[in-house]
A and B are shown apart, each in its own frame.
Chain A
Amino acid sequence: DTAVSQTPKYLVTQMGNDKSIKCEQNLGHDTMYWYKQDSKKFLKIMFSYNNKELIINETVPNRFSPKSPDKAHLNLHINSLELGDSAVYFCASSQGRGRTDTQYFGPGTRLTVL
Chain B
Amino acid sequence: GDSVTQMEGPVTLSEEAFLTINCTYTATGYPSLFWYVQYPGEGLQLLLKATKADDKGSNKGFEATYRKETTSFHLEKGSVQVSDSAVYFCALSLYGNNRLAFGKGNQVVVIP
Q: A interface vs B, CB < 8 Å?
A: 4, 31, 33, 35, 40-45, 48, 56, 58, 90, 92, 94, 96-108
Q: Which residues of B contact A44 (CB under 8 A)?
A: 102
Q: Which residues of B contact A90 (CB under 8 A)?
A: 43-44
Partner of B100, one of A41, A45, A98, A108: A45
Q: A106-B43, A107-B43, A108-B43 are in contact. Are A99 and B102 (CB under 8 A)?
A: no
B contact residues, total (Cβ < 8 Å): 26
A99:B93 contact, CB within 8 angstroms: yes
B102:A94 contact, CB within 8 angstroms: no
CA distance A105 to B11 in the complex (A): 24
A105:B45 contact, CB within 8 angstroms: yes
Chain A residue, CB-CB nearest to B38: A41
Restricting to B79-99, which residues have a CB under 8 Å from any CB of A? Answer: 87, 89, 93-99
Q: How far is the CB of A101 from chain B (nearest CB, A)?
A: 6
CA distance A43 to B100 in the complex (A): 9
A43:B45 contact, CB within 8 angstroms: no
Q: Which residues of B contact A40 (CB under 8 A)?
A: 104
Judge if B5 is at the interface, Cβ distance under 8 Å.
no
Judge if B42 is at the interface, Cβ distance under 8 Å.
yes
Q: Which residues of B contact A33 (CB under 8 A)?
A: 99
A105:B44 contact, CB within 8 angstroms: yes
Q: A90-B43, A99-B51 are in contact. Are A48 and B98 (CB under 8 A)?
A: yes
Q: Which residues of A contact B46 (CB under 8 A)?
A: 102-104
Q: How far is the CB of B16 from chain A (nearest CB, A)?
A: 26
Q: How far is the CB of B52 from chain A (nearest CB, A)?
A: 9
Q: How far is the CB of A7 from chain B (nearest CB, A)?
A: 13
Q: How far is the CB of A79 from chain B (nearest CB, A)?
A: 24
CA distance A36 to B31 in the complex (A): 22
Judge if B77 is at the interface, Cβ distance under 8 Å.
no
